[in-house]
Chains A and B, each alone.
Chain A
Amino acid sequence: MQVTIENLTKKFGDVIGAENLSLDIKDGEFVAFLGPSGCGKTTTLLMLAGIYKPTSGTIRFGDTVVNRLSPRERNIGMVFQSYALYPHMTVYKNIGYPLKLKNMQKKEIDERVNAVANTMGIGDLLDRRPGQLSGGQQQRVALGRALVKEPDILLFDEPLSNLDARLRLTMRGEIKHLQHDLGITSIYVTHDQIEAMTMADRIAVMSGGHLQAFDTPEALYDRPKTLFVAGFVGNPPMNFINVEVSASNGHFVATNGNMSLDLSKERGEKPATAGNSVVMGIRPEDIQIAPDGTVPAEVFVVEPLGRENLVDVRIDGESILLLADTKADHKRGDSVKLKFNMNKAQFFDSKTGKSLLWA
């Protein structure tokens, strides 16, 4: 089912839940809503579910405007962070509840519940109450309940936030697999950008109730259109340095104090026109500690991540994060030389926060 959102706004009195959102989601697509806590993800999801009535704007499922339809008329399945299992019902009754509400025959309910439970690997838990299940099992039941009525659209509200890291990894794969196999249009709300990056076909980045960007994970990572997106997507986060970009006879440089970095024409041409109010962004993996580096710095903290080390270095007192090989044994206080991969550098207007490269 195709989902089209136009100028969608929800206000709670003076508080803005979400404002002027427009995006369209293709049939069978897996879209993540990504943003910090309080940015309006849940509000948007609940409008799609029909729990909240939009203040203005329209929501279309296919060609139908659903603004005025009640949740039960929308044929959606939803998975909540708290699982929201009915504590007084067994697993069987929980999963069968949406079917019972459709006045389905007992026999058919039985078949469908068993089929879904077996897919989810909870076939042996049907007689238990939610209180007797582990978090992971509860999440599977919640997923089963959302899937059992064969919904047109699946909504997920931070479904993995309450699970431990390992289980989260497993469930991440399972949900993605399931969605792919069933081909149900899915909207997945999360504040965890790794979840969004790994699972979604496209990511809608939100902040302060507004849509910041809506694009594929690769595009958001390589070509962020705003400072907010650049800083929010990617872990460890992108480094930002105030620079001045200048051109002299076809040669582009970004300078800050006595740091001077050469730029290619593609990267340097547009920022050079913006004068001195430019923010340069560079990801930690695009900076190396190398003997032939050009920027002197001092090692401040080394955090071993296992596969690599996260190194916090200081350039004139300013903090820069980079990823270094664990074999190169850097220590606090070491003087090092940095090499920037300037072909990956991003440039933003420091006043508007807009990208100077990907307008």
Chain B
Amino acid sequence: MEKKAPDSRRNILRANLTAYGFLAPAGILVIIFFLIPVLLIIYLSMTNLATTNFTTNVSQMEFVGLENYAILLRDQFAGKIFFNTVFYVLVTLAIFNVSLALIVSLLTMHIPRRAGFAFRAIWILPRITTATVYIMLWRRLAVEAPYGIINQFNTLLNQPTYNYLDARPWEFVIMANGFIGVSFGMIIFTSAIESIPKDLMNASLVDGSTIMQRIRFIIMPLLRWPLLFVVTYQTLSLLTSFEQILLLTNGGPGLYDTEVWSLTAYHRALSNYFGNAQWGYGSAFAVVLVIIGVVLAVIYMRVFRFNELVAEPKIEVL
């Protein structure tokens, strides 16, 4: 090949333009649906916009600086809601979205292919069912006799009956969300396990491992990247999704018993008990959530040594 003259500025620009061109569609979507809303929310959180002084004209909104954040810090329920959120996210993530998802993937990978496939297909159902319908099923399961399905068994067995959503609200909130959460990790883990080369799986058995030892020493270490992805994605997803809790307990049964941060943002901004929607104050809750999410994502990347995972591959020389 002939030697090229040193790249001129124009050439560099042109090369970069192509790259930006390819990035543009995704970039524009991120800007419109993520960046701009976040900036708007940040601005809103520094106003006292509410039902009483509602306006759509940004310039007429009353700027109050960090006032809303100061109120939030003094909010007597903020602490309880914060710890509710931590509890809800950690428990759902640990038991369902990661552990159960892993167990289901590993189990269904070790049984005949078709059976495994059918089993996993059933686990997808909660995810593709509309939230309202899905939660109706849980309510039907949990409510007081004579309608509640669990209570019908209790009656049959001459046991006392309960309204389970009052008696055990967290269990039901976590299960209802967890069973949806499982399917995501399950899909990711299953395809990750399937993409481990067959030779590697066979080599481990020939080297003398049991099935369990193969899971521990070969499969699990090779799942580090999908594990990072699922933990990160599902943490953020659990932090921000509230519709199931809204429909199941609406934060109850008692005052803020199962209220989580994102649900509070919704309640304050859009559905205040007293008919006074506080957009500004609700936005402050939402911004705190964004900050927590970003911080967590960075921490996860550190813990799972993301840099190593995306290290440049070595060029093959024999």
A292 to chain B, nearest CB (A): 49
Is B222's CB under 8 angstroms from A72's CB? no
Say which residue of B197, B202, B203, B208 sits within 8 Å of A149 (CB atoms): B208
With A51-B202, A70-B205, A84-B203 in contact, is A136–B210 under 8 Å at CB? no
Taken together as a complex, chains A and B put the C-alpha atoms of A156 and B221 apart, in Å, by 26
**Chain B residue at minimal CB-CB distance from A46:** B202
Return the CB mask of B282-316 against A: 1 if under 8 Å, else 0: 00000000000000000000000000000001101
B13 to chain A, nearest CB (A): 36
A280 to chain B, nearest CB (A): 42
Say which residue of A71, A77, A135 sits within 8 Å of B205 (CB atoms): A71
B44 to chain A, nearest CB (A): 47
Is B318's CB under 8 angstroms from A50's CB? no
Say which residue of B209, B221, B222, B224 sits within 8 Å of A101 (CB atoms): B209
Is B206's CB under 8 angstroms from A88's CB? no
Say which residue of A49, A87, A101, A134 sits within 8 Å of B213 (CB atoms): A101
Q: What total count of A-B pairs have CB within 8 Å?
A: 68
Taken together as a complex, chains A and B put the C-alpha atoms of A207 and B218 apart, in Å, by 35
Is A136's CB under 8 angstroms from B318's CB? yes
Is B222's CB under 8 angstroms from A88's CB? yes
With A131-B313, A134-B318 in contact, is A101–B197 under 8 Å at CB? no
- Which chain A residues lie closer than 8 Å to B222 at the CB level? 87-88
Taken together as a complex, chains A and B put the C-alpha atoms of A149 and B313 apart, in Å, by 31
Is B207's CB under 8 angstroms from A101's CB? yes
**Chain B residue at minimal CB-CB distance from A77:** B206
B288 to chain A, nearest CB (A): 38
Return the CB mask of A85-117 against B: 1 if under 8 Å, else 0: 011100000000110011000000000000000
Taken together as a complex, chains A and B put the C-alpha atoms of A163 and B316 apart, in Å, by 11
Is B205's CB under 8 angstroms from A167's CB? no
Is A84's CB under 8 angstroms from B197's CB? yes
B200 at interface (Cβ–Cβ under 8 A)? yes
Say which residue of B205, B210, B213, B318 sits within 8 Å of A163 (CB atoms): B318
B75 at interface (Cβ–Cβ under 8 A)? no
- Which chain B residues lie closer than 8 Å to A140 at the CB level? none
Is B221's CB under 8 angstroms from A88's CB? yes
A116 to chain B, nearest CB (A): 14
- Which chain B residues lie closer than 8 Å to A131 at the CB level? 313-314
Return the CB mask of B207-231 against A: 1 if under 8 Å, else 0: 1111001000110011010000000
Taken together as a complex, chains A and B put the C-alpha atoms of A88 and B207 apart, in Å, by 16
Taken together as a complex, chains A and B put the C-alpha atoms of A164 and B316 apart, in Å, by 12
Is A84's CB under 8 angstroms from B202's CB? yes
Say which residue of B202, B208, B218, B318 sits within 8 Å of A98 (CB atoms): B208
Taken together as a complex, chains A and B put the C-alpha atoms of A78 and B208 apart, in Å, by 11
A343 at interface (Cβ–Cβ under 8 A)? no
Taken together as a complex, chains A and B put the C-alpha atoms of A98 and B200 apart, in Å, by 13
B198 to chain A, nearest CB (A): 9
B199 at interface (Cβ–Cβ under 8 A)? yes
- Which chain B residues lie closer than 8 Å to A78 at the CB level? 202-203, 206
- Which chain A residues lie closer than 8 Å to B218 at the CB level? 86
B317 at interface (Cβ–Cβ under 8 A)? yes
Is A86's CB under 8 angstroms from B314's CB? no
- Which chain A residues lie closer than 8 Å to B202 at the CB level? 46, 49, 51, 78, 80, 84
**Chain B residue at minimal CB-CB distance from A80:** B199
Taken together as a complex, chains A and B put the C-alpha atoms of A87 and B224 apart, in Å, by 12
A82 at interface (Cβ–Cβ under 8 A)? yes
Return the CB mask of B174-213 against A: 1 if under 8 Å, else 0: 0000000000000000000000010110111111111001
A300 to chain B, nearest CB (A): 36
Taken together as a complex, chains A and B put the C-alpha atoms of A46 and B197 apart, in Å, by 15
Is A84's CB under 8 angstroms from B199's CB? yes
- Which chain A residues lie closer than 8 Å to B213 at the CB level? 101
**Chain B residue at minimal CB-CB distance from A133:** B314
B162 to chain A, nearest CB (A): 49
A76 at interface (Cβ–Cβ under 8 A)? yes
A256 at interface (Cβ–Cβ under 8 A)? no
A132 at interface (Cβ–Cβ under 8 A)? yes
A10 at interface (Cβ–Cβ under 8 A)? no
Using A78-B203, A84-B202, A88-B222 as known contacts, list a sample of 12 further A-B pairs with CB atoms less than 8 Å apart, ordered by residue number in A: A46-B202, A49-B202, A71-B205, A71-B206, A86-B200, A86-B217, A86-B218, A98-B208, A102-B208, A131-B314, A135-B316, A164-B318
A-B contact list, 28 entries, CB within 8 Å: A46-B202, A49-B202, A49-B205, A50-B205, A51-B205, A71-B208, A72-B208, A72-B209, A72-B210, A77-B206, A78-B202, A80-B199, A80-B202, A84-B197, A84-B202, A84-B203, A86-B200, A86-B203, A86-B217, A88-B221, A97-B207, A98-B207, A102-B208, A131-B314, A134-B317, A136-B318, A149-B208, A163-B318
